[in-house]
A and B are shown apart, each in its own frame.
Chain A
Amino acid sequence: MTVTAPLPAGRRRTDARTLLAYLILTVGVILTLFPFAWMLLTSLKSFQELFNLAFLPADPTLDNYRQVLTETRFLQWFGNSLLVATVTTLSVLFFDSLVGYTLAKFDFPGKSLIFILILSTLMIPTEMLVIPWFVGVSDLGLTRSVPGAYFSIMFPGLISAFGVFLMRQFFESLPDDLLEAARIDGMHEFGIFWRVALPLVRPALASLAIFTFLGNWNAFLWPLIVIQQPQFRTLPVGTALFNGEAGTQWGLIMAASSLAVIPVLLVFAFFQRQIIEGIVLTGMKG
């Protein structure tokens, strides 16, 4: 396969190689989307049709969806996931931009040491942390109350080191004069951050929002460990344990999975442009 560098803009050449590129990309997209399509189509098949190998359901039915929504705790788990993912995302957006801003725009002793310490936490495997977290949460008896249970699920994700890195990169590119001008106008330091700096880094906030939301929507290891009662399960944990509760009912699982994709797809569709702009502009380049 000969892959060449992108052609300069404005140059039109629909040669054989461009056609080949389209061909390969299309085959790739079909392979990529096949499991997706299979999931959606299976969720529309009736129980009798389930093990029929036809791609399209002969007699499409929404029965699986009805059952998932009415006969399982799906809606409860969905709500739990939504709550957990939303709260952690808001917290990460606030604290990570505050820390990123401070590390980029203030001069104080210990600045680089603090940055390096925060970044180094990226190398600590989650597995190493969950055991002490579990021991701590058990000792404090947190999961016995409603706020305690939700707090237990959320607390590890409230601030993210990756986000601090991302936001710092963004704030570094902000001109100092702008902040200085606000300072001369007598604006409070927090006001400068909140009303001057923050609105200027919207693309970064959007991409941080989607990655954080996605990460917490998908979080599995810690919620699996910490949640004791079925009503506090998040969607991934609930669906994973479907097996035991519903028997292996493929139709139900596929319907539940299809529904679980919706919020993330919506967030992605909404922020697509900013996400990519965010990645382009951040230091993910290195």
Chain B
Amino acid sequence: MATTSKLRGGRTAARSPSRTGSLRRHQIRTAYTFLLVPLLFFLVVRFIPTLMSLRLSLFDWNILREQQPFVGLENYRTLLEDGRFGQALRNTALYTLIGVPVQVALGLGIALLLGRVRALRGLYRALYFAPYVTPIVAAAWVWQWVFSPQFGPVNTFLTWLHLPAQPFLTSPGQALPTTAALVVWQNLGFQVVLFLAGLAAIPRVYYEAAEIDGASGGQAFRKITLPLLNPTIVFSVVTGTIAYLQLFTQVVNLNFTDQGGPLGSTMTVALYIYQLAFGRYQMGYASAVTVVLFLIILLITLLQLRFLTRRYDA
């Protein structure tokens, strides 16, 4: 056997010293054969379209026209003065700032409470998960009805408590928080399961040790639970933020005829892109908005990963 041939690749090679270069070449060939179709997929369906978007954003591109003139950075200059884009951007930021902390806090809170109870735990968990498996469009219809100013049960309940009825989705001031509540309601089940998984991974001995040392429940939470849960919290915040920055389906379906709610108060960047590209066919300009959205997501994700991830000695 040609044991002198250069061996690389750590563990496998170290355990089987008879492995030859030809075997390694076989491994490499197999790996690339397995990856061929998926890599082509990612190239054609993800990377090339991303580059195409960058290119489209430099043109005054309209699919209904013959001529697609090159305009350089003109689309980006227009964006700076576009009031509707500014509003969509502010709304999207607001959704994220309301939605992410609320769903993380509620998800963690419910998971902790579920940790306290024994009986019916599985049932509670399944029931909290139910909205997550409800089709988004269906949920949006129900939400419209439940919060309807005239015949909605929520307002009936408020009147019953002698509180004034609220306009909810029909008022520019309340439409956005009501929409955010729908998204939180739908995501909550997933957050609960996620935090239950994170909590289950914390070894019980830490809590036993803390109790012997006379630590209070609050102290144990701050000193053990929160630090050891950090990876779960980071995962939840990062993926949650990415999802909120692309909020679309719920917003469209809460008001299909008047997309974006009263006076554009629920309009998001994603919805604005949709309206520009497929309502007005301004695909070049819409692409410029997508590039800006991409840069925002990239920047925020990198910042979050940088500042939220901390190392603890476990």
Contacts and interface: CB of A to CB of B under 8 A. Distances in A.
Interface of A: 1-9, 17-18, 21-22, 24-25, 28-29, 32-36, 38-39, 42, 51, 53, 55, 95, 98-99, 101-102, 106-109, 111, 114, 117-118, 121-136, 138, 155-156, 158-159, 161, 164, 176, 180, 189-190, 193, 214, 217-218, 220-221, 225, 235-236, 239-241, 243, 250, 253-254, 256-258, 260-261, 264-265, 267-269, 272, 275-276, 279-280, 284-286
Contacts of B124: 25, 29
Contacts of B196: 276, 280
Contact of A5 (B197, B217, B289, B297): B217
A285 B198 contact: yes
A240 B194 contact: no
B270 interface: yes
Contacts of A95: 37-38, 41
B178 interface: no
Helix, strand, loop or mixed for chain B's interface? Answer: helix
Interface stretch (B70-78, B96-104, B110-118, B168-176): B110-118
Interface residues of B, number: 114
Contacts of A123: 242, 294, 297-298, 301
A225 B278 contact: yes
B35 A220 contact: no
Contacts of B41: 95, 158-159
Contact of A4 (B27, B218, B269, B277): B218
A5 B224 contact: yes
B200 A98 contact: no
A126 B246 CA distance: 8
Of A8, A236, A286, most buried by chain B (CB within 10 Å of CB) is A286
Given A107-B27, A155-B45, A220-B137, A25 B142 contact: no
A114 B35 CA distance: 10
B63 A138 contact: yes
A121 B113 contact: no
A5 B195 CA distance: 13
Contact of B135 (A4, A130, A260, A269): A260
B4 to A, nearest CB: 20
Interface in B273-294: 273-274, 277-278, 283, 286-287, 289-291, 293-294
B200 A280 contact: yes
B197 A132 contact: no
B188 interface: yes
Nearest to A122: B242
In the complex, which of the residues A17, A156, A164, A236 has the most CB atoms of chain B within 10 Å of its own CB atom?
A236
A38 B146 contact: yes
